[in-house]
């Protein structure tokens, strides 16, 4: 068996194309296998969604210096939950 060694790290593209063509069945089988694994993962994986938000309600300081909220936090959070979470 004669081996061709390339000088100066040259790549023979024609030789490379012949080798790829020679192993086309194995390449197609491996590629199709990974595509099938990917499709199975997409179909059966549970999607995970996570979102965080910071909500600050308006307030002013009353006569005693304590914050007085314009709308109570619990009421505002309930409104947001009803509008965005329960609406889904």
On the CB side of 31, CA atoms within 13 Å amount to 6
Residue from 87, 83, 84 nearest 51 by CA: 84
User: What are the tens digits of pLDDT across the range 31-43?
Assistant: 999 999 999 999 9
pTM of the model: 0.43
User: What are the tens digits of pLDDT across the range 8-28?
Assistant: 677 888 998 999 999 999 999
In a domain, 5, yes or no: no
Print the domain residue range for 18: 10-44
| Number of domains making up the chain | 1
In a domain, 19, yes or no: yes
């Amino acid at each position: 068996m004669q081996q061709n060694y390339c000088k100066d790290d040259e790549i023979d593209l024609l030789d490379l194309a012949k080798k790829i063509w020679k192993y086309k069945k194995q390449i197609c089988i491996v590629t199709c296998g990974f595509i099938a694994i990917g499709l199975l993962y997409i179909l059966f994986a549970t999607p995970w969604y996570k979102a965080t938000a910071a909500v600050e309600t308006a307030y002013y300081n009353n006569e005693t210096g304590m914050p007085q909220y314009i709308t109570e936090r619990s009421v505002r959070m309930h409104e947001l939950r009803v509008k965005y979470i329960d609406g889904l």
